[in-house]
Structure 1
Amino acid sequence: MTLGTEKNSYDVAVVGLGAMGSAALFHLARRGVRAIGTEQFQLGHDRGSSHGESRAIRLGYFEHPSYVPLVRRAYENWRELEQLTGETVLTVTGILEAGKPDGMLVAGSLEACRLHGLDHELLDPAEVARRFPAIRLPENYSAMFQPQGGFVRPDLASTLHLRLAEEAGAAVLTDTKVLAIEPRGEGVRVVLADRVIEVGSVIVAAGPWIAELVPELKPQLFLNRMVLTWYEPKRPELFGLGALPVFAIEGEDDFLYGFPDFAGLGFKCASHFGSGRLATADDARQDAGPADEARTRRFLERYLPDAAGRLKAMKTCVYTMTPDEDFVIDCLPEDPRIVVASPCSGHGFKFASVIGEIVADLALDGETPHDIGRFRMRRWG
């Protein structure tokens, strides 16, 4: 079969239109670049990592202080997206992080806040209970409150990025699987089932499918199945906006995070540690069941007992993990026309607005003013 070829119609192709791909397409289109985005499913699907009502955002970053400048820029870009659309994408609730004082969560966030001069408060369990009566911490725990923390709405954010990208001239193909990415001469061929698109550069933002298109990454990636849960609290007044901040609790054997009920859908919470490995992204299913719910409920009964009412909903998603849990944002060493956009190890959505900017820089210029040294592929040799 001979495939039709679209030559020189586009400068850049973006493969995958979840969090990172939609933001990348927006940043390309707003610069006047002829760009096309492809998505193998329908937009807003629930088989990857970019769905589920809310994602936490915070400045003090326990994973590593070097993330702080990027998340500062992400805040700026989320606010700009709001200005451009009139929609509320980022809501500030504050974020409470709790656990043993020397644990990775509290100690890491405290280090980042002190290093970057970020607003924060250290609270003991009694003060946490006074200010946020839904949360009950053991006496040997400590907590840190960051007033600028909150949540981003992932489904809305991606929709808005794509809407603005199309309004600026970008093309979008859905239900279109990319079969191969082939560097050729002065360009790159993006091979689809029914056509070949020739472009100058490609941004691969395929989430858990990224290793299929960038096999160099395969030895370094694994997929974690994650389950999100929504509950009808026993005391709803303790779990709405203004009563409960976004929170994370590093417990003895699990790490739970959660959000206030801001849309009437229920109190949302999930474990950050996952519930098993997936062999391939195609193995992901909406298959959450009683064992998943029991795990979350056990944690709630210990730390937020008034949350553990009737289960309202569960959803699965996928974390695409690296061994060091840092991102991958880079041009392929063997061909800088192919840009890899962020297997994010479960903490990336908050950065989508700035990662889109960064990978647009890389696709157009081969470099970016943002410091992404921590995320380069050379760290694996």
Structure 2
Amino acid sequence: MKRPEHRVPNFDVIVAGVGGMGSAACLQLARRGQKVLGLERFDIPHAMGSSHGINRIIRLAYFEHPSYVPLLRRAYQLWRETEQRFGEQLLYVTGGVDAGPAESSVVTGSLAACRAHDLPHELLDAREIMRRFPAFRLPDHYVGNYQADAGFVMSERAIVAQTTMAMAAGADIRAREAIVDWEPTAGGGVRVRTTKGTYEAGRLILSTGAWIADHVPALAGKAVPERQVLGWFQPKEPQHFALGALPVSIVDAPSARCYQFPVFGVPGFKIGLYHHFRQLGHADTLSREPTADDEAALRQVVREVFPGADGATMALKACLFTNTPDEHFVVDCLPGVPQVVVASPCSGHGFKFASVMGEVLADLAIDGTTRHDIGLFSLSRLNG
């Protein structure tokens, strides 16, 4: 008896990687009537990549480059829209301080973004920062740019919201199904092979985070995973670290650049260091197990800048940044294969943009272009 012929499912768009940006892309595509397949190698959400640990900072005073600010304005709008439709608050506004020596890039870049885009802001000296926010202990020569719109986005809950709403809009999303490889088809589409099957689609979005170089050879050596560790420390002066008393902040501390959050969701004041120990490697080989050295490095900065939080350790969690040489994103159609869209890596500062990047990625997948200015994120720049 002849076996029935197996038909390969056909989709308009396959999204490989259902993290912050991938889940947002699935949502935007499904809302536009696209037949979408979302594939995630781990759980949704999960703690193996870059988008876990309760929350991520969002801010308009973007010291990395003023070109990010219009995208951020749209990101805020879309996060508000998402939380209203989902029925759960995802974006919390706390205000934000970017502090350091007056000549530091955190301060000068933050001020440049505010001035370029007419963002209301206040330049404060160290004494005034500590008066308003007693959790801080800053050297006398430090200054800080305060911008009232900063805050944080609930990272895992945002992925849950976007995924749930995408499925409600018709997206087919599957966890624990890793992409093995992909190839263009003769008809101008793509064929994707996974650990569980083979699928065809007109377009493919690769948003696989720390694994992106495995699927885009042009990013080999240019999208490099880096191990990060976040710490939560119980304040000895909890009133100074509570939501409403402490803004999110980025500080060029004497020993390391750090970022931090008020206590929220779990016990402890959350803090992380930029580039931590600069431990680089493949995403499969970098350890997710925090160590005593990780804790000591974080606690050193706590003692320097936030001594009132130098209490018991509540939690330590490892995550991955994936850095480009200039630390800007990669969001582009793949040269020579325009039906494939490459999304990120985000060099550690991308989650806040997930909502608007979903819109950008849907634009690129459907139309090959977007109204948003993403010139800074071209793949070709890394070949210069």
TM-score, length of structure 1 as denominator length: 0.97
- In structure 2, the residue matched to 1:297 is 299
Amino acid aligned to 1:262: F
Cα distance change, pair 5–321 in 1 and its aligned pair in 2 (3 A): farther
**Native 8 Å contact 1:4 1:196 kept in 2:** no
Report Cα offsets for 1:35-62 as digits up to 9, x if no partner: 0100111111111001011100110110
Write the distance in 2 (CA, Å) between the matches of 1:46 and 1:217.
Answer: 23
Higher mean displacement: 63-72 or 284-293: 284-293
- In structure 2, the residue matched to 1:112 is 113
**Native 8 Å contact 1:223 1:318 kept in 2:** yes
Aligned residues: 378
Amino acid aligned to 1:160: A
The equivalent position to 1:332 in structure 2, one of 331, 334, 352, is 334
- 1:98-109 mapped onto 2 (5 Å cutoff): 98-109=99-110
Q: Which runs of 5+ in 1 are unaligned?
A: none
- In structure 2, the residue matched to 1:235 is 237
Which segments of structure 1 move beyond 4 Å, counting only runs of 4 or more?
none
Write the distance in 2 (CA, Å) between the matches of 1:78 and 1:172.
Answer: 21
- In structure 1, the residue matched to 2:59 is 58
- 1:308-323 mapped onto 2 (5 Å cutoff): 308-323=310-325
Q: SS of the counterpart of 1:327?
A: coil
Write the distance in 1 (CA, Å) between the matches of 2:257 and 2:190.
Answer: 43
Write the distance in 2 (CA, Å) between the matches of 1:4 and 1:44.
Answer: 31
Write the distance in 2 (CA, Å) between the matches of 1:39 and 1:4.
Answer: 23
**Native 8 Å contact 1:178 1:191 kept in 2:** yes
1:210 aligns with 2:207: no
Q: SS of the counterpart of 1:41?
A: coil
1:96 aligns with 2:97: yes
Report Cα offsets for 1:261-301 as digits up to 9, x if no partner: 12242111110122233321111332111111111111111
Report Cα offsets for 1:157-192 as digits up to 9, x if no partner: 000000000001100111111111110112200111
The equivalent position to 2:271 in structure 1, one of 269, 276, 293, is 269
Q: SS of the counterpart of 1:122?
A: strand
Cα distance change, pair 206–264 in 1 and its aligned pair in 2 (3 A): closer
Higher mean displacement: 279-288 or 15-24: 279-288
Q: SS of the counterpart of 2:284?
A: helix
1:354 aligns with 2:352: no
Write the distance in 1 (CA, Å) between the matches of 2:287 and 2:18.
Answer: 19
Amino acid aligned to 1:329: V
TM-score, length of structure 2 as denominator length: 0.96
Cα distance change, pair 102–337 in 1 and its aligned pair in 2 (3 A): same
Report Cα offsets for 1:10-42 as digits up to 9, x if no partner: 100000011110111010011111001001111
**Native 8 Å contact 1:329 1:340 kept in 2:** yes
Write the distance in 2 (CA, Å) between the matches of 1:48 and 1:98.
Answer: 28
Amino acid aligned to 2:79: W
**Native 8 Å contact 2:227 2:320 kept in 1:** yes
Amino acid aligned to 1:184: T
**Native 8 Å contact 1:232 1:307 kept in 2:** yes
Report Cα offsets for 1:315-367 as digits up to 9, x if no partner: 00000000000000000011010000110000000000001110111011100
1:27 aligns with 2:28: yes
- In structure 1, the residue matched to 2:129 is 128
**Native 8 Å contact 2:212 2:223 kept in 1:** no
Write the distance in 1 (CA, Å) between the matches of 2:207 and 2:110.
Answer: 28
**Native 8 Å contact 1:232 1:266 kept in 2:** yes
Report Cα offsets for 1:112-171 as digits up to 9, x if no partner: 101110011011111111110010110011111100000000000000000000001100
Amino acid aligned to 2:134: P
Amino acid aligned to 1:311: T
Write the distance in 2 (CA, Å) between the matches of 1:265 and 1:105.
Answer: 28
Amino acid aligned to 1:309: G
Write the distance in 1 (CA, Å) between the matches of 2:7 and 2:64.
Answer: 44
Q: SS of the counterpart of 2:221?
A: helix
- In structure 2, the residue matched to 1:184 is 185
Q: SS of the counterpart of 1:325?
A: coil
Cα distance change, pair 59–52 in 1 and its aligned pair in 2 (3 A): same
- In structure 1, the residue matched to 2:198 is 196
- In structure 1, the residue matched to 2:147 is 146
- In structure 1, the residue matched to 2:379 is 377
Aligned-residue offset at 1:237: 0.9
Amino acid aligned to 1:158: I
Identical pairs, percent: 48
Cα distance change, pair 158–87 in 1 and its aligned pair in 2 (3 A): same
**Native 8 Å contact 2:15 2:25 kept in 1:** yes
Amino acid aligned to 2:116: L
Amino acid aligned to 1:299: V
Amino acid aligned to 1:163: T
Write the distance in 2 (CA, Å) between the matches of 1:232 and 1:252.
Answer: 22
Write the distance in 1 (CA, Å) between the matches of 2:156 and 2:219.
Answer: 27
Amino acid aligned to 2:184: P
Report Cα offsets for 1:98-122 as digits up to 9, x if no partner: 1000100001000110111001101
Q: SS of the counterpart of 2:339?
A: strand
Q: SS of the counterpart of 2:52?
A: coil
- In structure 2, the residue matched to 1:83 is 84
